[in-house]
Amino acid sequence: MPGGGAFATIMSEIIPVHCEEDCRDAGARAASVLNQGGLVAFPTETVYGVGARADHREALHRLRTLKARPDGQPFTVHIADPSRVRDYVPNLTDLGRRLVRKGWPGPLTLLFRVPDPVCTPALEDRDAALATEIYHAGEIGLRCPDHDVARGMLAGVTGPVIAASANRVGRAPACDASAAMVELGDGIDLLLDAGPAKFGMPSTVVRVGENEYEVVREGVWNARTLRRLASMDFLFICTGNTCRSPMAAGLFRHRLAARLGCAVSELADHRVCVGSAGTSAADGSKVSPEAVTVMRRRGVDISDHRARRVNPELIDQADCIYVMTRSHAGAVAAAVPSAEAKTKLLSDDGDIEDPIGGGVSVYESCAANIEKALTKRLGEVRL
């Protein structure tokens, strides 16, 4: 590990951050300080943090002394981008992937079990002792903050960054730069001042298991938000969102509820969300009467459905997207190119044509095609 004490006698430097250019310059300066073994206090969306390079012996010692944290008590590793999680947790579970994809960047700290830390990409060609600093009893805490200054800083550091809240032990976390300076003073080398933290309270800490999770510390996000993040989200897309996609979503909910042995209204308790949208939908439009009729024949009530236009947020939140036609798949990929991998044509037989303007018999034929396609797709679903 590197040694040295280049910053041990330098008084704290404060850099105010007011604009995008300030953000870039401040991030670069902070990364340089961390790379040389300094301690940096920095803003996040929750509270201010103080960080150091985990592979710098003296910086680590200073951080432990500042936080009165004994050897063996872990810090949280902070990363600039959600994709970096695989450097530390190579074998993410499906639940872990959902929480990372939907929760990061954001006010969420995730604890992962990693049975063999020394084999992770983050520790490749590094001192094995580093494993004990960032993994504790085979577990690591990871955080990807939703703050441009913090992420800009982290992106420029060439080693793992560990951090904790910018306060002395037993004291309230610092929610702005002045409070961080009062708490840490000349114990740090650099303070990035980007104004008050957005939330002013700590991140939510969640331990991620194979199929379940445990809230270790309540924070910005409550239990309802966490359940939503952990849910498996299915999104059905057609054009107007008044017939094909609401029919498919209604049938899918009905079948999934039967599979899980619960009511449709209880799917959310089983961490399952099923929605629909349209590429050219008029928000709030009522579902087609013919679609309501053919669904009622199948014991499915979609009469309360109201149309909504698909948008990048809906696409990002979805774990699996089923489209009625190839043109719908193209629209999804154009809006969010990365979503192409999770987008499937509902029917392997080809496009399911729009029944709009046809009578009940046309809708009946469409519903039958959707039912046939859903039978196969449901067999592919792992919950």
Residues 6 or more apart from 45 whose CB is under 8 A from it?
Answer: 106, 107, 145, 146, 147, 197, 198, 199
Residue 53 among the catalytic residues: no
Residues 201-219 have pLDDT tens digits of 999 999 999 889 999 999 9
Quote the pLDDT of residue 173.
95
Residue 143 among the catalytic residues: no
Catalytic one of 25, 87, 316, 354: 354
Residue 19 among the catalytic residues: no
Task: For the chain, list residues with pLDDT below 70.
Answer: 1-11
Would you say the CATH fold of 231-380 matches that of 13-227?
Answer: no
Quote the pLDDT of residue 74.
87
**Where along the chain do its domains lie?**
13-227, 231-380
Superfamily of domain 231-380: Response regulator (3.40.50.2300)
Quote the pLDDT of residue 119.
87
Quote the pLDDT of residue 11.
56
Report the predicted TM-score, pTM, of the whole model to 2 decimal places: 0.86
Exposure string for 107-119, b = 16+ CB within 10 A, e = fewer: bbbbbbbbeebee
Residues 6 or more apart from 337 whose CB is under 8 A from it?
Answer: none
Catalytic one of 175, 238, 273, 366: 238
Residues 66-116 have pLDDT tens digits of 999 988 788 999 999 999 999 999 999 999 999 999 999 999 999 999 988
Architecture of domain 13-227: Alpha-Beta Complex (3.90)
Catalytic one of 53, 64, 151, 244: 244
